[in-house]
Structure 1
Amino acid sequence: MDATLNTRVIQYDEASRAVGELPPDHAPVKIQKVGVLLVNLGTPDGTDYKSMRRYLKEFLTDKRVIEWPRALWYPILFGIVLNTRPKRVGKAYEEIWNHELGESFLRTYTRNQAQQLGGSLSAHPAVMVDWAMRYGQPSIPDRMQALKDAGCDRILLFPLYPQYAAATTATVNDKAFQAMMDMRWQPAIRTVPPYHDDPVYIDAIANSIETHLASLDWEPEIVLTSFHGIPQSYFLKGDPYHCQCLKTARLVRERLGWSKEKLMPTFQSRFGPEEWLQPYTDKTVEKLAQDGVKRIAVINPGFVSDCLETLEEIAGEAGELFHENGGEHFTHIPCLNDSAEGMRVIESVVRRELQGWI
């Protein structure tokens, strides 16, 4: 066998170099570290037209998000949506932008979550924690390559969605494995499963509700658990998302000891002409007010961090809708974000999924 070929099958570390198995100019390959990559949906780089169009184009060309045939969808997307929606969505982002840091709060919270998790796992020096976005920056391929270059031959991929949906969890996994197709030396990958019924998560959501309501000088008659919707057709094709959302709502309700009438699941953020999961959050808020309900609260258990859909759509628009139709008191219960409760959930899930690696 050619001696130069034979040297390529040895261990790539300094010990090998010491016994003469590597050429003296061959850089050692870093290995034996474990990467944890937290991934959230995504964020535009700015609220201007170009930034929003770039972000929306990446998001809305994902076949997991919009399952229509491209021949039908692309003329609508490139002819109408990407010419009109960036300006409107940019204005909405501007209202909830983290102006102090010049970024969306989703980016702020996700980075904070990664930093805090890294600190919590500091007793394991072989573990490295990073973060990425499915759409926008930092990208999944870039951060996976960075972890690999830093010596991570094992990576735990954590899509930050408690409930599984093909349009969220699956597309994160798709992107990660697509990135691996360009790697000669692939790291081993684990993906975090949905944790919609994890006792630590359920307890954290219930605690956040109790803590927030205790800070009010009034008591809501009804609390809505508003989850992001998906088209009804996705559910009929076998997506488990709807069932997992309802289970989360039921477990939270049972943990609080409330009736079905006190805590109600709804679905928000529908887009396009299709029928989506119901009941719709906006229609429910409107009807409750018209029926004489004066005090409600809304929480978003499916969102790990506050973002456009929670801060603008719920805290802003839903609150206005409730008051316009006769409601008196409305409150939005913040997401877990980078709070102690939220970090307890993330750390618990990560430690469980890293078993056998650390």
Structure 2
Amino acid sequence: MTLSTPIDVKAAKAIGPLPAGHPPVRIGKIGVMLVNLGTPDGTDFKPMWRYLREFLSDPRVIELNRAIWYPILYGLVLTTRPKKSGANYALIWNREKNESPLRTYTRAQAEKLSQALADMPNVVVDWAMRYGNPSTASVARSLVERGCDRIVAFPLYPQYSATTTATANDQLFRALMKMRAAPAIRTVPPYYDEPVYIEALARSIERHLATLDFEPEVVITSYHGIPKPYFEKGDPYHCHCQKTTRLLRERLGWSEKKLMITFQSRFGAQEWLQPYTDKTVEHLAQQGVKSIAVVNPGFSVDCIETLDEIGREAAETFHHAGGENFAHIPCLNDSEEGMAVVEAMVRRELSGWA
């Protein structure tokens, strides 16, 4: 069936010609949409304000009552945070493409996946952001317009959380609610314990450590945190992170003292998942540990939280507390190991369709 094949040629002839200006009905393709968290369009105040407003207005991200949260959001957060966050983004901004690294890497993943799936000519690969551009809704519409009556959506979060995977799926289904002829949907489940993912992490770590001129005494797996009450309400994220680190520890043959787990990026006054990355890094240095490395297994690609918060802020914290050697191990990104994970997960979910 080709891209321009009508749903039913005979039925269409019986009904008569489509109204003037009506787009042709196209089916027979399968869309694959890689979905990442999101990115601002620029580092200036306005694009940062738009991005942060969309992100921090999501009720799955901030579960406070709107009557309590919105005055804080609009009266305090959105008047001060855009400038500060924009300055941090400017430190890691891809000047050549005028975009954030997260957008650069996610696009590269989609392009390489498309090449890897060349044996499936009816599969169309694209990429989208939950917050910011290209929006999930616009990419979903584009895939349908290109003839996709089935879509595999891949939220690029190895460990499930309602604040990430669920909100990405929410946004896709909100887009489908506005479609007259909505496509069938499959969503890729979390892959925190998939052998291909654990192996990719292990190889990436081993490869990067081999390039260092020092041997870390401790390697930290630092995950984005969530508020502790979210975990207590049943979010499985903490358990997924723990299992990823345990499996990675077993694969590398390291002890719990050698490969630690921490949580970063806390926001607001309430307690988040512990131990905190910044406090742990500082404590290790104060204890006399001179060399550490940090890896971010929960991020599919490098972004502000890895390149700046870990690569700069955590490194400064460690050095100021007496540490000497600090290394940030890059995310899987569009590396050979990273693409092996993406391709394996997508091919599995395409089974029976392509």
Q: TM-score range by the shorter chain?
A: over 0.9
Are 2:159 and 1:163 equivalent residues in the alignment?
Answer: yes
Give the count of matched residue pairs. 347
Output the CA distance in 1 between the equivalents of 2:170 and 2:352: 24
Output the CA distance in 1 between the equivalents of 2:107 and 2:8: 34
Are 2:191 and 1:192 equivalent residues in the alignment?
Answer: no
Greater alpha carbon shift after TM alignment, 21-30 vs 245-254: 21-30
TM-score by length of 2: 0.96
Aligned partner of 1:3 in structure 2 is none
Aligned partner of 2:16 in structure 1 is 23
Alignment of 1:195-344 (within 5 A): 195-344=191-340
Counterpart amino acid of 1:100? E
SS of the aligned residue for 2:79 comes to: helix
Are 2:31 and 1:35 equivalent residues in the alignment?
Answer: yes
Q: 1:347 aligns with which of 327, 339, 343?
A: 343
Output the CA distance in 1 between the equivalents of 2:53 and 2:184: 31
Counterpart amino acid of 1:21? A
SS of the aligned residue for 1:78 comes to: helix
Aligned partner of 2:51 in structure 1 is 55
Output the CA distance in 1 between the equivalents of 2:195 and 2:232: 28
Output the CA distance in 1 between the equivalents of 2:18 and 2:205: 60
1:274-300 CA-partner distances (Å, limit 9, x unpaired): 100000000000000000000000000
Q: 1:80 aligns with which of 67, 76, 80?
A: 76
Are 2:12 and 1:12 equivalent residues in the alignment?
Answer: no
Q: CA deviation at 1:25?
A: 4.7
Output the CA distance in 2 between the equivalents of 1:237 and 1:325: 36
SS of the aligned residue for 2:87 comes to: helix
SS of the aligned residue for 2:53 comes to: helix
Q: CA deviation at 1:217?
A: 1.5
Output the CA distance in 1 between the equivalents of 2:338 and 2:91: 25
TM-score by length of 1: 0.95
SS of the aligned residue for 2:153 comes to: strand
Alpha carbons 1:13, 1:28 under 8 Å: kept = no
Relative to structure 1, the CA distance from residue 147 to residue 292 in structure 2 (aligned partners, 3 Å threshold; closer, same or farther) is same
Runs (5+) with no aligned partner, structure 1? 1-10
Alignment of 1:164-179 (within 5 A): 164-179=160-175
Alpha carbons 1:14, 1:28 under 8 Å: kept = no
1:197-250 CA-partner distances (Å, limit 9, x unpaired): 000000000001100111112100000000000000000000000000000000
Q: CA deviation at 1:122?
A: 1.2
Q: CA deviation at 1:15?
A: 3.8
Aligned partner of 1:44 in structure 2 is 40
Misfit runs of 4+, over 2 Å: 11-17, 19-28
Q: CA deviation at 1:22?
A: 4.7
Output the CA distance in 1 between the equivalents of 2:50 and 2:68: 21
Output the CA distance in 1 between the equivalents of 2:73 and 2:96: 33
Counterpart amino acid of 2:189? P
Q: Which has the larger radius of gyration?
A: 1
Output the CA distance in 2 between the equivalents of 1:104 and 1:12: 40
Q: CA deviation at 1:13?
A: 4.3
Alpha carbons 1:55, 1:135 under 8 Å: kept = yes
Output the CA distance in 2 between the equivalents of 1:14 and 1:247: 49
Output the CA distance in 1 between the equivalents of 2:204 and 2:324: 23
Alpha carbons 1:42, 1:135 under 8 Å: kept = yes
Runs (5+) with no aligned partner, structure 2? none
Aligned partner of 2:109 in structure 1 is 113
Q: CA deviation at 1:54?
A: 0.5
CA RMSD of aligned residues (A): 1.2
Alpha carbons 1:164, 1:240 under 8 Å: kept = yes
